[in-house]
Amino acid sequence: MNYNNQSNITSNHIKSDGDRIRCDQKEQTINAYAELVKKNIDFDVLLHTYSREQDLVEEIYQLILETVQTEKDMIRIAGEYYPAGFVKGKLLKLNYSHIEYVLECMDKNTTKVRNIKQYLLAALFNAPSTIGSYYKAAVNHDMPQYAN
């Protein structure tokens, strides 16, 4: 038997103190973002209000959380790359109304969505920029007497 063959050596998965500290810090960051996002979007109220859409509300929450925690420098949204800090900033400013708007847009969408994760991320990213125009167009359509 050849005891010099080192191809069967497996790595030791013991973490150093530095690795443990980094893991603890990462977990604290995740928990802080989780609480901040839940607070910003009124997560519990969304779950109650949209009881039939709880899975979608949870998916939206998880997508926001996943995106704001990325360590990438750039994030792709709707075919364009944006600095991660810019994307994180927009997503961390989302509130209940923005999520409600995205849920409404999802409900009204009748076209096939090929990549639901990218579609939702684009909708969330664009929500603060498009929500006002969306509701103004709806009012203009439904109540033309109030259109300017």
For the stretch 18-54, pLDDT in tens is 677 777 788 888 999 999 999 999 999 999 999 999 9
CA distance 56 to 63: 10
Q: Give the chain's domain count.
A: 1
Does residue 131 form part of some domain? Answer: yes
Is residue 102 classed exposed, middle or buried when 0-12, 13-18 and 19+ CB atoms within 10 A define those classes? buried
Does residue 32 form part of some domain? Answer: yes
DSSP 65-79: HHHHT---SEEEETT
User: Residue 57 is part of which domain span?
Assistant: 18-146
Does residue 9 form part of some domain? Answer: no
Phi and psi (nearest 5°) for 63? Answer: -65, -45
* Whether the Cβ atoms of residue 101 and residue 136 lie closer than 8 Å to each other: no
Does residue 76 form part of some domain? Answer: yes
Does residue 13 form part of some domain? Answer: no
Indicate whether this model's pTM tops 0.75.
yes
In the predicted structure, residue 144 carries a pLDDT above the cut 90? no
Angle 28-42-114 (CA atoms, 0-180°, nearest 5)?
85
Mean per-residue pLDDT of the chain: 86
Residue among 135, 54, 46 nearest 96 (CA): 46
Does residue 68 form part of some domain? Answer: yes
CA distance 66 to 111: 26
Does residue 138 form part of some domain? Answer: yes
DSSP 28-44: HHHHHHHHHHHHHHTHH
In the predicted structure, residue 63 carries a pLDDT above the cut 90? yes
Does residue 11 form part of some domain? Answer: no
Q: For residue 42, is it left (φ>0), alpha (ψ between -120 and 50) or beta?
A: left
